[in-house]
Every structure is written in C-alpha cells, then in structure tokens.
Amino acid sequence: MRENRNTEIHQQWDILYSPWKSVPRSGYSKVWGMYINRPFHIQTHMSSGRYLDYISNRLVVKTPNERKTQEFYFDYITRTIRCKGYNNYALDIRNTFVYGYTVNSYWYQLFRFDGTYFNNQ
C-alpha cells in the first residue's frame, strides 16, 4: 500500500511578533488568529531559525537581519498578510508556491492562523 504524501506536513514555521509598539487599529482577531497591524517575522521551524524574506516578489528563506522585507503584518481591512518592505504585496499561494503579489483579497491571499498552522481559505 502506498503512503499518501499529500497529508504530510513538510514545512513548519513560527510567528515571532515584534516588541509591542503603539499601532493604529490594533487588537487581536479571533476569527483570523492574528494581531491586527502588529509586525511579526515568519521563522522556519528548522534548527537554522531563518526568516522568510522577499526578493522581488519571491519568498526565500534568509538569515535574520533588520530588513523590512522580513517583517510582515496582518491587514484587517484586506484580510491579508502584507510585507512591511513591499507594502503593496500580500502573501499569495498559487500552484502550491507562496509568492508576493499585489493585494486583491482573493481566496489565495487569505490565511487564518490556528495557533499552529496557517490555513489558506
């Protein structure tokens, strides 16, 4: 009998919120599982502890640094996860790859965080 590989979890990430600062329209969204407008980093669960980073519109795994392209936030108005360095881009999943594309709030840009996983709508 062949193992179904589609149900395996291959990549795990942690959300690391930046130290709390005064942020307009902030709060916690129970529906979406994230703090509104509060900056965070997405860190690999592997021992390297590297962060997701934008290079152009591609997401890559890089060593942590102070670049705004490694800092994300949940925009409650559009319900998307946006990048501080490329404010017009949101996380976007197409063809099993995650990219950064112009914000349009379609299903492939909507993610919920259940405390463990990001789930795409």
The string of pLDDT tens digits covering residues 30-61 is: 888 888 988 999 888 888 889 989 887 788 88
For the chain, what is the mean pLDDT? 79
Note whether 93 and 84 are within 8 A (CB): no
- The C-alpha atoms of residue 76 and residue 62 are separated, in whole angstroms, by 27
* Residue 92 burial class via C-beta count within 10 angstroms: exposed 0-12, middle 13-18, buried 19 and up: buried
pLDDT at 121 over 70: no
* Class of domain 11-120 (CATH, top level): mainly beta
Q: Residue 30's pLDDT is what? A: 85
45 vs 8, which has greater pLDDT? 45
Q: Residue 20's pLDDT is what? A: 55
Span 14-19, average pLDDT: 70
> What does pTM read for this prediction?
0.76
Domains of the chain by residue range:
11-120
Q: Residue 21's pLDDT is what? A: 56
